[in-house]
Amino acid sequence: MMTARVTECRDCKAKIMFIKIAGKDRTMPVNAESVYYIQKAGGPAKIVTPNGEVLSAELTDNPDKATGIGYISHFATCPNADKFRNKNKSDRKKAR
Ligand SMILES: [Zn+2]
């Protein structure tokens, strides 16, 4: 079900993958390790499902309670997420 390639966050070196967001022409970095989640509107975690849907959810360790298996947005856990968000600015300065 999952064909995304595992890669490394260029900032914190965590294992991440890029999942294509359903219906959008873009990908989102997520932690490579899958998690169990309980889908919940307004939940604290941003989950991306293997199908590329982005959900609000609560994480759980209990597979019996979980509504599915997904991936946590790497923006939420990357210690250098600010750099990510300013990526466009810094890229421009670097002059590729
Ligand atoms: Zn990172």
Q: Is the pLDDT of residue 23 over 80?
A: yes
Q: Is residue 1 part of a domain?
A: no
Q: How far is the CA of 64 from the centre of ligand 1 (A)?
A: 30
Q: What is the pLDDT of residue 85?
A: 61
pLDDT for the residue 5: 85
| H-run or E-run covering 26 | none
pLDDT of residue 95 exceeding 50 = no
pTM above 0.85, yes or no: no
| Average pLDDT score, the chain | 86
Mean pLDDT, residues 45-66 taken together: 95
Q: What's the rounded mean pLDDT across residues 33-37?
A: 97
Question: Residue 95, by phi and psi: left (phi above 0), alpha (psi -120 to 50) or beta?
Answer: left
The pLDDT value recorded for residue 86 is 57
Q: Whole domain around residue 24: which residue ranges?
A: 6-94
Overall number of domains in the chain: 1
Q: Determine phi and psi for 76, rounding to 5 degrees.
A: -75, -25
14: in domain: yes
Q: What percent of the chain has pLDDT over 70?
A: 80
| Tokens representing residue 20 in the block | 């294509």
Residue of 36 and 86 predicted with greater confidence: 36
The answer as to whether 61 is a domain residue is yes
Inter-CA distances, 58 with 51, 63, 77, Å: 18, 13, 15
DSSP code at position 10: T
In a domain, 70, yes or no: yes
How far is ligand 1, taken at its centre, from the CA of residue 86, in Å?
A: 13
Retrieve residue 26's tokens.
Answer: 């873009």
Residues with CB under 5 A from ligand 1 (ion): 9, 11-12, 78
Q: Which pLDDT belongs to residue 76?
A: 85
**Is residue 83 situated within a structural domain?**
yes
**DSSP string of 39-76, one letter each residue:** E-TT-SEEEE-TTS-EEEEEEES-TTT-SEEEEEEHHH
